[in-house]
Amino acid sequence: MEARNPARTATVAQVQQMSHSRIPHLPAREQCAQTWAQSLARPRPGTGLARGLPGNAVCKAPPAPPRRSPAGSLTQLQVPSRSARPCSLGFAKGKGVGTNMAEDSRGGPTCSWMGDSQDPVPGSGGYNFPEYEIPEVNTRAFHVGTIGELWRGRLRGAEDLSLKEPRAPELPGCPGDAASDPGDAAVARDLDCSLEKAAELRAVCSLDKLKCLEEGEDPEAIPEDTELVTLGIRKRFLEHREETITIDRACRQETFAYEMESHAIGKKPENPANMIEEGELILSVNILYPVIFHKHKEHKPYQTMLVLGTQKLTELRDSICCVSDLQIGGEFSNSPDQAPEHISKDLYKSAFFYFEGTFLHDKRYPECRDLSSTIIEWSESHDRGYGKFQTARMEDFTFNDLHIKLGFPYLYCHQGDCEHVVVITDIRLVHHDDCLDRTLYPLLIKKHWLWTRKCFVCKMYTARWVTNNDSFAPQDPCFFCDVCFRMLHYDSEGNKLGEFLAYPYVDPGTFN
Partner 1 sequence: MAMGTPPGLQTDCEVLLSRFQETNSVGFEGFAELWRSMKFATVFSGKMRNLEKNTFTKEALALAWRYFLPPYTFHIRVGGLYLLYGFYNTQLCQPKQKIRVALRDWDEVLKFQQDLINAQHFDAAYIFRKLRQEKAFHFTAMPKLLSYRMKKKIQRTEVTEEFKDTSDRVMKLITSDVLEEMLNVHDHYQKMKRKILADNSLQEKAISLIKDDFFDTIKNIVLEHQQWQEDRKNPPLKPKDGEETREERSQETERCERAESLAKIKSKAFSFVVQASKSRRHRQVKLDSSDSDSASNPGQTQAAKKKRSRQTLKSAGKKAPSRNKGHERSTRKEEKSLRLSMPVIKEEEENGSCSEQEFTVPKRRRRY
Shortest gap between Cβ of 189 and partner 1 (angstroms)? 11
C-beta of 178 vs 483, nearer to partner 1: 178
Candidates 130-138, 267-275, 344-352, 469-477; binding stretch for partner 1 (CB under 8 A): 130-138
Q: Could you tell me whether strands 443-446 and 418-429 are parallel, antiparallel, or unpaired per DSSP bridges?
A: unpaired
Shortest gap between Cβ of 126 and partner 1 (angstroms)? 13
One-letter amino acid identity for 433?
Answer: D
Rule CB under 8 A: is residue 459 a binding residue for partner 1? no
Rule CB under 8 A: is residue 429 a binding residue for partner 1? yes
C-beta of 47 vs 469, nearer to partner 1: 47
Shortest gap between Cβ of 266 and partner 1 (angstroms)? 7
Rule CB under 8 A: is residue 155 a binding residue for partner 1? yes
Rule CB under 8 A: is residue 119 a binding residue for partner 1? no
Which of 6, 52, 172, 366 forms a contact with partner 1 (CB under 8 A)? 52
Which of 299, 382, 384, 459 forms a contact with partner 1 (CB under 8 A)? 299
CA distance 184 to 167: 14
Candidates 234-242, 305-313, 479-487, 492-500; binding stretch for partner 1 (CB under 8 A): 234-242
CA distance 501 to 397: 45
Judged by CB under 8 A, the chain residues 344 through 403 that form the site for partner 1 are: none
CA distance 497 to 467: 13
Candidates 32-40, 89-97, 363-371, 489-497; binding stretch for partner 1 (CB under 8 A): 32-40
User: Pick from 313, 402, 401, 416: which is nearest to 355 by CA?
Assistant: 402
Helix axes 195-204, 182-191, angle to 10 degrees: 110
Rule CB under 8 A: is residue 159 a binding residue for partner 1? yes
CA 378 to chain centre: 32
Rule CB under 8 A: is residue 79 a binding residue for partner 1? no
List helix spans (H) across 93-192.
144-155, 182-191
C-beta of 59 vs 250, nearer to partner 1: 250
CA 436 to chain centre: 16
C-beta of 105 vs 246, nearer to partner 1: 246
- Quote the DSSP letter at residue 362: -
Judged by CB under 8 A, the chain residues 172 through 191 that form the site for partner 1 are: 187, 190-191
Rule CB under 8 A: is residue 330 a binding residue for partner 1? no
CA distance 311 to 427: 14
Shortest gap between Cβ of 423 and partner 1 (angstroms)? 5
C-beta of 190 vs 383, nearer to partner 1: 190
Shortest gap between Cβ of 228 and partner 1 (angstroms)? 5
User: Pick from 443, 511, 91: which is nearest to 284 by CA?
Assistant: 443
Q: Could you tell me whether strands 443-446 and 142-143 are parallel, antiparallel, or unpaired per DSSP bridges?
A: unpaired
One-letter amino acid identity for 208?
Answer: D
Instruction: Say if CB 472 and CB 489 are below 8 A apart.
Output: yes
C-beta of 53 vs 458, nearer to partner 1: 53
Shortest gap between Cβ of 244 and partner 1 (angstroms)? 17
Which of 305, 360, 427, 463 forms a contact with partner 1 (CB under 8 A)? 427
Judged by CB under 8 A, the chain residues 2 through 21 that form the site for partner 1 are: 4, 8, 11-12, 14-16, 18-21
Rule CB under 8 A: is residue 265 a binding residue for partner 1? yes
For the stretch 116-122, contacts whose Cβ atoms lie closer than 8 Å and that sit 24 or more positions apart, written own/partner, are: 116/387, 116/388, 117/356, 117/357, 117/387, 118/70, 118/356, 118/357, 118/403, 120/69, 120/70, 121/67, 121/68, 121/70
Rule CB under 8 A: is residue 129 a binding residue for partner 1? yes
Site string for partner 1, 239-258 (x = CB under 8 A): -----------x---x--xx
Shortest gap between Cβ of 229 and partner 1 (angstroms)? 3
Q: Using alpha carbons only, what angle is made at residue 376 by residues 370 and 381, rounded to the nearest 5 degrees?
A: 140
Please give the C-alpha separations between residue 244 and each of 220, 235, 249, in angstroms, as whole numbers: 22, 14, 15
Instruction: Say if CB 412 and CB 302 are below 8 A apart.
Output: no
Which of 213, 275, 291, 497 forms a contact with partner 1 (CB under 8 A)? 213
C-beta of 116 vs 298, nearer to partner 1: 298
